[in-house]
Amino acid sequence: MPKITKNLLIINFLFFFATIVADSYGIDLIKILGLHFFLAEDFNPIQLVSYMFLHGGFSHIFFNMFAVWMFGRILEQVWGAKRFLIYYLVCGVGAGLVQEIVQLVHYEFVLSTYDNVNIGHAVIPMREYLNLMTTVGASGAVYGILLAFGMLFPNQSLFIFPIPVPIKAKYFVIGYAVLELYLGLANHQGDNVAHFAHLGGMIFGFILIRYWRRKGYYL
């Protein structure tokens, strides 16, 4: 397995288990290292990087890391370690920036009119609620990886459960992008999934690949 892909898997799982251990000692790593809304008191710029190494549960990290292993190792073999790492981080940070913009829009057009927020079991001040707007996960970087695979190998056939027939990578990626856009726009009730962050990872990945191609890199 290529070294960056292997190290990303190791680091993500180390952070995952560290989160569990720290929680047993009363330390909330997600509160510290998760990406907060930039107007919240707990926001720190380093969270734009640290958030992508945290996950909200085993299924969350499993499927993200499975995608990194499945598609990321191929990209690293094609691009090399340095370029793949840059791409991964750019997509992850880009996804975080898009999530911040989406949260800002939500705040300006919805939340800013309230002093307190009902969270179901309690009513809390707005400043406390803003600290609850936290994003974690490598999904933005993973969606960037999917986008890159679709651009580099558009006609590669993939077998994706539960689709009963093989599907070309380009259609798989387009379908995922359309689905995320739909879910993001239709997400009125909130499903705790950062759909627009996923799209952000794809957008930044697309821009970076186009930039590299204009520079004459073989991609």
Domains of the chain, each with CATH number or no CATH: 3-214 (1.20.1540.10)
Residue 26 contacts by C-beta under 8 Å, 6 or more apart in sequence?
none
Average pLDDT of the residues in 140-157: 96
Least reliable range by pLDDT among 38-42, 106-110, 138-142: 106-110
Q: What is the pLDDT of residue 190?
A: 64
Q: What is the pLDDT of residue 100?
A: 97
Give this prediction's pTM.
0.94
- Reference 101, options 60, 57, 63, 140; nearest CA is 140
**How many other C-beta atoms lie within 10 A of the C-beta of residue 38?**
18
Element (H, E) at 35: strand 35-36
pLDDT(17) > 90: yes
Q: What is the pLDDT of residue 186?
A: 86
**pLDDT tens string 21-30:** 999 999 999 9
**pLDDT tens string 24-49:** 999 999 999 999 999 999 999 999 99
- Token code pair at residue 49: 């990087």
pLDDT tier at 192, thresholds 50, 70, 90: confident
pLDDT tier at 204, thresholds 50, 70, 90: very high
Q: Determine the length of the chain.
A: 219
pLDDT(188) > 60: no
